[in-house]
Structure 1
């Protein structure tokens, strides 16, 4: 059983890595009897600094609604809903992901689970790739509890090649 008051927190973004982390977190929660706290941190797309210059409460409400929908989609994609046999709390919090996650796991008895991208030999990086790596590095440096990192499932080499050669026309719907 878990230490009294210890939390099991998983960072969720909707990526393949975070879905893998969510599955592992549900398994650990089921085995340990802990409550699973799924946290999705969000910021306005233009960033907080630009938002402060021109605040729009309707836009912020829309962004928060989209973040909640992304968290719900993550549970649907990972389990088809809420995982059985686990008490789950879903939290959507406005703020930088590393700061939000470190604030939620302030006790040394807590456990934080994060998804990580697997390294590939391709030289191109997605727009979000370096940011996620930076979030992971900052969390590992700041967290005051154990952090379990879960790698994203790797695509077979054949599928990676096919995706690199894909064009926009390959994804068009046939009428």
Structure 2
């Protein structure tokens, strides 16, 4: 049975990707897998030392909690018609998602996120990695336009600037 794999980061931007993946799962009558990738403190080297076993266990528990919170935020108490299976994977997000959606009949859904020039230099694009390396089709979902409005209002509030209600609409 084909599956719809959606990357979950816990950010507001991933909610749009979760909703789109749920819609695709309903249309295709496919399984919906929500995947949250996590890494140990210190990256790959942090997981090799036995002294950090409790830290790795804590990271795993935190990732599972964050996945549950993201699913609750996206769908509330009523889950979508398609059954959602959540899984946390140890690894970098792009590699984990591509590894999880390895069948050509699968569909990989990723959010594109807001990508400014500085952010692009610091963080690699998970969506771009998936589009380049995936063996299945990749659906890159842009963030909701409401997210840009929210970010603008948040910045103005943070800097104590007056907020004009006409700008929010």
- Answer whether TM exceeds 0.5 for this pair: yes
Return the TM-score normalized by structure 2. 0.82
Call closer, same or farther: CA 1:13–1:118 in 2, change over 3 Å. Answer: same
- Structure 2: give runs of 5+ residues left out of the alignment: 162-169
For structure 1, list consecutive stretches of 5 or more residues without a partner in the other structure.
171-175
Give the structure 1 partner of residue 96 of structure 2.
100
Whole-angstrom CA distance in 1 between matches of 2:20 and 2:102: 21
Q: Distance in 2 between matches of 1:96 and 1:154?
A: 27
State the 1:35 CA deviation. Answer: 0.8
TM-score (norm 1): 0.79
Aligned residues: 161
Structure with the larger helix share:
2
Distance 2:92 2:139 in 1: 20
The answer (yes or no) to whether the contact 2:10–2:66 under 8 Å persists in 1 is yes
After superposition, residues 1-175 of structure 1 pair within 5 angstroms as 5-53=1-49, 55-81=51-77, 83-118=79-114, 125=119, 130-131=122-123, 133-155=124-146, 159-167=150-158
Rate the CA distance shift 1:25–1:35 in 2: closer, same or farther, 3 A.
same
* Contact in 1 for aligned 2:41/2:55 (Cα 8 Å): no
